[in-house]
Amino acid sequence: MPVRLPRLLRWSIAVTLLLLLVMTVARLIFNAQYSPHDKPFSGSAFVLGLRYDLRYACAVGLLMVILPGFRWLNPFVMPGARRFWNILLPLLAMALLLFYLIDFYHFDYLHQRLNASVLNYLDDAGISGKMVLQTYPIVTITVFFVLVCILVFAGFARLLRHYLLAGDSGVRGIGAYVLVVLVFGALVYGKSGQYPLRWSDAFLQNSDYKAHLALNPMQSFLSSLNFRKAKPDPVKVRESYAMMSSYLGVQQPDAANLSFTRHTAPAKQPRRLNVVLVICESFSGYKSSMWGNPLNTTPFFDSLCKGGVFFDRCFTPAYGTARGVWATVTGIPDVEGTKTASRNPAAVDQHTIINDFSAHEKFYFLGGDPTWANIQGLLANNINGLRIYSQDNFNAKKVDVWGISDKNLFLEANAVLAKQDKPFFAIIQTADNHRPYTIPAEDAKQFTTQTFPQDILKKYGFESNAEMNAFRYTDYCFQQFMTAAAKEKYFDSTVFVFVGDHGVRGSAGAMFPASWTDMGLTCEHVPLLFYAPGQLPARRIGTISSQVDILPTIAGLLNQPCRNTTMGRDLFNGMGPLAYRENSNVPARAFIIDHDDKTIGMICDRYVYRKNLSSGKEDLVSFTDNSVLPPGPVTDSVRQSLRSYTIAFLETAKWMLVNNKKQ
């Protein structure tokens, strides 16, 4: 005889399945209306869509199981509770239907699933309303919606009445309730793993339409709600277009269409070289050996810098790993305020110069879970043919929350790259130089920790011996990787690029001018190294550089024709490191933004400018020494110039974030 659940649970499951059915029918209608004629039905996208739908249906189911724990909300005990549920559930269903209805026509108009930017149309409600009235059969839609709402109210009341009359002959006890809550909770979470099901998972389908088919309109709307006020202002972008197009070297300026496209077509044939780009966790300049930190935490990397092209004044546009990866891969500073750009559904479609390396195989190696901060969506949706290797693809075991150790990440990546017959473009992202500062037990014999007094640690930029040893362990991992790579055939035909994802705020003491600490530059200052013995001559270069410059520079070094649409510039000006010189007409600058302090700024060869977006307070100080800038026309002129560039970079970056679409 089958076991029957209590009627409260049966009622909750029935409502959950009914909501799921409604969303499934809506997805089928969406596919029937908007599927490309040349694309077959995607079962994988549809199944992913069911998982998104289950999140919301089961969230309602959870409410229906948990709230009746309060006796006055239990419809099978209190008559008043029946009225409550007969109002709440139809309202939730009506809201669901309204989302799908708006989403249907939103996609018809913009070819995008519903997102929070639709709320911006309320700023011009009159014009927007007239456009809608003149474009769509609003009267018919409204009548249809009202009739459906009447049926919804009647349907939910009848469903509850059915279970009230059914009696409660099901199993008793708390076990059934716990089981249903756990099942509903698991379906709301959406998947196994460290992170829940996110909107960015839809963009792993390698097809924009498959992603659109999978998305639930509530998922895309709610995920983008924090970003709706960050819309760019084309008027402000045009005001500074002449300045920015000149700075970036736009060959055919077009202020009307705000084109920042530059095509590079080197006269020489592309060099058949591999690229390994290492994005190094928290690789802060003042903590490392290259600038003379007495603790000598990175002696091996220092030796690499002496054998490669080392840019010693490189800055990340912002603090944070996700923002650093974004700037490196896209060439745009992450100027999103509340959350990172990678979490903004409207910005998931991005052109990247990596795709111009069409003859190269593409790899991304990460020791942990690639779904953090929705980075996987950015990478998989925009880099053609990308193969992502993460913690589940490696033989090594996880050592902490960040996955396998950096040493094992490097060695496993090296093993994969050593098997390649075609040229490749590989990105390796480290994580161990981060709390909890794990030093794997398996490395205890080869890697010996050191201990310094607390006052010495503080003086030279470290909070604890654990942090300092994690920094040293990163250098050890670099050594293990480069030693292993040097034994492989790909080594001599590879350009290795190392850059920090961000710095770490702290006191640089006497190692740098006071402005570096006072203005928080330690938060963004990182090493940038291009290393290829026999290919690149050793040189230390003091020009200002940024993460956004990395991909254009790699393309230049390999004579790779590319389409550059964002803010990066070739640091060698297309001439290669032997002929490197600074273009005196357009001096290099680095834009920085501190989302915590609400400041924006600009770094040039001699000065640092900073403006607080909340108070309007401005600072202009020396970048090279501790001298005080005298008041006067010269200082005022410098301040005005850097202020103009700073605002121009900010507004242009805002525009690029949602307009840098891949072709």
Which residues pair with residue 564 across a beta bridge? 262
Q: Report the distance separating Cα 511 and Cα 62, nearest Å.
A: 57
Look at residue 243 and tell me whether its pLDDT is greater than 80.
Answer: yes
User: Binning pLDDT at 50, 70 and 90, where does residue 2 land?
Assistant: low
pLDDT at position 371 is 83
Look at residue 531 and tell me whether its pLDDT is greater than 90.
Answer: yes
Q: Tokens at residue 75, please?
A: 């419809």
∠ Cα 7 13 17 (to 5°): 145
Amino acid code (one letter) for 47: V
The SS3 of residue 530 is: strand
Section 10-28 average pLDDT: 94
Look at residue 493 and tell me whether its pLDDT is greater than 70.
Answer: yes
pLDDT at position 583 is 44
pLDDT above 90 covers what percent of the chain? 68
Element at 541 (helix H, strand E): strand 539-546
Closest Cα to residue 199, out of 348, 61, 99, 31? 348
Q: Are 526 and 328 in contact (CB under 8 A)?
A: no
* Number of helical (H) and strand (E) elements in the chain, helices listed first: 19, 14
The single residue listed with the structure tokens 């499951």 is 13
User: Binning pLDDT at 50, 70 and 90, where does residue 391 land?
Assistant: very high
Element at 497 (helix H, strand E): strand 494-500
Assigned CATH topology for domain 274-587: Alkaline Phosphatase, subunit A (3.40.720)
pLDDT above 70 covers what percent of the chain? 94
Q: Tokens at residue 308, please?
A: 């490669």
Q: Report the distance separating Cα 237 and Cα 125, nearest Å.
A: 24
**530 phi and psi angles, rounded to 5 deg:** -110, 115
Look at residue 110 and tell me whether its pLDDT is greater than 80.
Answer: no
User: Binning pLDDT at 50, 70 and 90, where does residue 361 land?
Assistant: very high
Angstrom distances, CA of residue 379 to CA of 5, 200, 352: 45, 10, 10
Angstrom distances, CA of residue 345 to CA of 115, 210, 211, 227, 355: 8, 15, 11, 9, 21
User: Binning pLDDT at 50, 70 and 90, where does residue 194 land?
Assistant: confident
Greater model confidence, 6 or 451:
451
The per-residue pLDDT of the chain, averaged, comes to: 90
CA 129 to chain centroid, in Å, comes to: 34
pLDDT at position 518 is 87
Q: Whole-model pTM?
A: 0.81
DSSP string of 581-629?
Answer: ---TTS---EEEEETTTTEEEEE-SSEEEEEETTT--EEEEESSSSPPP
Angstrom distances, CA of residue 415 to CA of 94, 235, 461, 481, 489: 55, 51, 35, 10, 12
Section 374-397 average pLDDT: 93
User: Binning pLDDT at 50, 70 and 90, where does residue 346 land?
Assistant: confident
Q: Tokens at residue 496, please?
A: 């290795």
pLDDT in tens, 584-630: 456 889 999 988 778 899 999 899 999 988 778 899 999 999 999 99
Look at residue 170 and tell me whether its pLDDT is greater than 60.
Answer: no
pLDDT at position 58 is 96
User: Binning pLDDT at 50, 70 and 90, where does residue 340 land?
Assistant: confident
Q: Tokens at residue 82, please?
A: 């029946």
The single residue listed with the structure tokens 């040893």 is 469
Q: Report the distance separating Cα 529 and Cα 514, nearest Å.
A: 25
The SS3 of residue 481 is: helix
Section 455-482 average pLDDT: 96
CA 209 to chain centroid, in Å, comes to: 21
pLDDT at position 198 is 85
Greater model confidence, 472 or 135:
472
Q: Are 346 and 200 in contact (CB under 8 A)?
A: no
Max CA-CA distance within the chain? Answer: 93
User: Binning pLDDT at 50, 70 and 90, where does residue 582 land?
Assistant: very low
pLDDT at position 118 is 75
Q: What is the 3-state secondary structure (H, E, C) of 73-110?
A: HCCCCCHHHHHHHHHHHHHHHHHHHHHHHHHHHHHHHH
pLDDT in tens, 630-641: 999 999 999 999
Angstrom distances, CA of residue 497 to CA of 234, 376, 389, 489, 611: 35, 21, 19, 18, 32
pLDDT in tens, 400-441: 989 999 999 999 999 999 999 999 999 999 999 988 999 999
Q: Where are the domains of the chain?
A: 7-223, 274-587
Q: Are 390 and 596 in contact (CB under 8 A)?
A: no
Q: Report the distance separating Cα 187 and Cα 61, nearest Å.
A: 11
Most confident of 16-20, 196-200, 377-381: 16-20
pLDDT at position 534 is 87
Q: Tokens at residue 458, please?
A: 């503080």
DSSP string of 256-286?
Answer: TTTB--EEE--SSPPP--EEEEEEETT--GG
Q: Tokens at residue 145, please?
A: 């919606």
Greater model confidence, 649 or 132:
649
pLDDT at position 43 is 87
User: Binning pLDDT at 50, 70 and 90, where does residue 172 land?
Assistant: low
pLDDT in tens, 44-55: 899 999 999 999
pLDDT at position 20 is 94
Q: Is 538 exposed, middle or buried (0-12, 13-18, 19+ CB in 10 A)?
A: middle
